[in-house]
A and B are shown apart, each in its own frame.
Chain A
Amino acid sequence: MGDFLGYFIACFTPLKILLMIGGTIGGIFLGAAPGLSPTMAVALLVPFTFYMQPTDGLVLLGAVYTATVAGGAITAILINIPGAPANIATMFDGHPMALKGKAEKALYLAFLSSLVGGLFGVAVLILFTPPVARMAMEFGPSELFWMAIFGVSVIAGLSSGTVVKGLYGGAFGMLISCIGENPVYGVERFVFADMLTGGISIIPALIGLFAVPQVFTLVETMGQVIDKRTFKAQKGVLKEAIIETCRHYKQLILGSVVGTIIGAIPGAGGSVAGLIAYDQNRKISKNPELLGTGVSEGVIAVESSNNSMVGPSLIPLLTMGIPGSPTAAVLMGGLLIHGLFPGPELFTKYADVTYTFITSMIVAQFAMGIFGIIISRYSHLVMNVSNLAMCVSVTVLAVFGSYSVQNSMDDVFIMFCLGLLMYLGSKRSFSAAPVVLGLILGPLAEDNFSRGKIIALSGDGLFDYFCLGNVNLVIIGLCLLSIGWSIYGEIKMAGKSVRPCAEA
């Protein structure tokens, strides 16, 4: 407890407070800007943290991650476009509230419930990370290999597009992570151009895969007319929203618990959390028939769930190196850039950095709540930024970020080539998240596979070492379950979409 207080107090240096406030305000703006995803915002920011102390960099990234998810509610409510996938279910009641002239109240409710949910999620992160990290310390190469495969398979299965394309994307990410020297044997692979000798750096790849496709999508959608709801701030609405949030404490608890459970499952993500919370709220609501017509409880349940997922999504990342969401995968880049490798070592050797980062998330939640309420009064200004200005700014930042990591133009070309490839892939329903996961977890999988093979050949044999043993069997079972579940979901969806046609 004493240690925890020490780390908490360490968050209150002037620089860290400044970074948290700047990160929160910037994050809300980026979340509220239609067309920019939270993942892309964090990806663009990661290289700049390279020039900061590791703790400061992570504090900034944590604040941006928290704020972008909450900021996405602004567009979901005012223009019926989710700022982030996590805000899809916010539109169901948030936008009808705006149509009724209650946009200001809906925004306040969104930020207040995000604050409560976010605090709940961070509390779970603080309580559960150390025991999970202790458990991870027992893992050997075979378990770590399967954990890496599990991380890719889960996100691949749950990403947008078909399951097979998601899994193919994950495998493709793992394949391009093999470019360059093999870490154990020192042999070069797939080096068909000089710039690939050192392999593909994570940061330029992250920026390219997430930012470039969005830039081209912005170019494509330029000039589209969007129906924007604006409002003038009125007195007493905030007080009303606070009372309403307290009154709907059941929705707050439900959303926070659902978001926390979903967040801790690698790959599930905020969109799933929001939709499940909305669905469960329908079951406990006194007036379920009113949901979808613009009622406060719909916004409260969804927003508390998608923000409570932020903290727990970091549990598998920090303890085992398995990101819980695409944005957590990008945050992993922020750790790697400082030479911090996720796993038990983070809680022993780098405990001060890790715990300061975790406790700073509490302060970031308060900053998000306060600045969210203030900024939502001026949200119409954020939404008026043109697509053209946005795509040019993102391009310049992407180039700057890719170049600045190693001061190399090669990284800029790698970023652009991967991004262009991803843009073409996105046209055929391939998604960036599995590719990034494969790229990040590929070296972990290969390294542990090579080490495990050496151990296996001197003892039990390859099959026994990798495929037997309780932990191995459980993780293999989870991999099969996640892929099987995704395929089942896809078949069910296909059945649903075919039936109406047949009936017609």
Chain B
Amino acid sequence: MRNIRTQLIEIVVMFFVPVASLAMLRSIELEDAKLFPNYICYIMLVFAVIHAFQVFKSWRKDKAEKGEPAPFPMRRVAVALGLMIIYFLSMEAVGFYLDGFLFFLVTTLVLESGRLTAALVGRKAFCAVCFMAVLYLLFNTMLGVMTPSGIWM
């Protein structure tokens, strides 16, 4: 049942993208400027129809569910996603190197499966410092790459 629901969502998304794009293109007056994306959208619609047909055909053939899929580690992925978003949003304010160090340290500690000890935190902090120091030396000092400076560097 769950598989059928995700397949239905997939089909809807495959139709939605070209339809929404065609709707956005309608506001453009110059016909030639929208000709190529229009054709692409029509082609995408054709593929979406073929895919929907394939999926419906497979339902008729194989109605029985084949075993339970492996459990998805939702909590771990959600935590990683949240930390990444915080990392991106705070980068300009905090600065690339400090923010990168904090992201490295916090992520490795939060997602670590073992028990947190002072030694483990120290080791992770050391790894984070080394990684960011290598990046700084290689790219900032040697290649002169500009990065957001933020509150420090």
Contact = CB atoms under 8 A, between A and B. Distances in A.
Contacts of A185: 30, 32-33
Interface in A363-422: 388-389, 391-393, 395-397, 399-400, 403-404, 407, 409, 412-413, 416, 420
A403 B14 contact: no
A395 B113 contact: no
A403 B148 CA distance: 9
Contacts of B87: 395, 399
Contacts of A192: 24
B134 to A, nearest CB: 10
B51 A51 contact: no
Given A220-B76, A389-B108, A392-B108, A404 B147 contact: yes
A404 B147 CA distance: 7
B143 A396 contact: no
A146 to B, nearest CB: 14
A493 to B, nearest CB: 13
Contacts of A222: 73, 76, 111, 113
B30 A187 contact: yes
A223 B71 CA distance: 14
Contacts of B132: 396
Given A48-B143, A51-B143, A389-B127, A178 B107 contact: no
B127 to A, nearest CB: 7
B34 A189 contact: yes
Interface string B127-153: 100011001000100011111100000
Nearest to A501: B62
B36 A450 contact: yes
A400 B135 contact: yes
B111 A396 contact: no
B72 interface: yes
Contacts of A164: 47, 50-51, 54
A178 B76 contact: no
Contact of B96 (A174, A216, A400): A400
A347 interface: no
Nearest to A173: B40
Interface string B71-85: 011001100110010
Contacts of B32: 184-185, 450, 453
A395 B135 contact: no
Nearest to B18: A175
Contacts of B113: 222-223
A489 to B, nearest CB: 15
A388 B111 contact: yes
A230 interface: no
A189 B37 contact: yes
Nearest to B17: A172
Given A168-B14, A178-B40, A396-B132, 14 more contacts: A48-B139, A52-B143, A171-B43, A175-B40, A189-B33, A216-B80, A219-B73, A222-B113, A389-B108, A392-B108, A393-B131, A396-B104, A400-B100, A409-B88
20 contacts: A48-B145, A51-B143, A171-B43, A172-B17, A175-B40, A175-B44, A182-B33, A184-B33, A185-B33, A187-B28, A187-B33, A187-B34, A189-B25, A215-B80, A219-B80, A223-B113, A395-B87, A412-B88, A449-B36, A450-B36
